[in-house]
Amino acid sequence: MREADLKYKKLVLICTNEREASRGCCAKKGAVGLYKKLKLAIKAADPEVRVCQTSCLGNCLSGASVVIMPDNRWLGEVTEDDIDEIIELVTS
């Protein structure tokens, strides 16, 4: 193992997990579209912030879920309408 040379100011994780029909999941709450748009918007605002999609973050009932690290800020019920506010959170 070796330490990676990549260094980012912040890491934004977006759950895009999809579950079977009987269970709630972030993918069914617009997380995939949110991920694509948020990734582009944050890259334009600050290329030193990394945006990644993840599997389940364990916040299924409040999806779509976003986590901002290293701030340890957990966001639930996130929609594309929240993109500007998220950019403010990660670039300020």
pLDDT tens per residue across span 10-34: 999 999 998 877 677 899 899 999 9
Q: How open is the CA angle 6-89-33, to the nearest 5 degrees?
A: 80
φ, ψ of residue 10 to 5 degrees: the values are: -145, 160
Two structure tokens written together for 22: 């009987």
What pLDDT sits at residue 43?
95
* Single-letter amino acid code for the residue at 89: L
Average pLDDT per 10 consecutive residues for the chain, totaling 92 residues: 89 91 82 96 96 92 92 96 96 86
Question: Can you list the alpha helix ranges (DSSP code H) found in 1-92?
Answer: 31-45, 83-91
The whole model's pTM is what?
Answer: 0.89
CATH class of the domain whose range is 10-91: alpha beta
Spell out the domain ranges in the chain. Answer: 10-91
What pLDDT sits at residue 40?
97
Residue labelled with tokens 């290293």 = 70
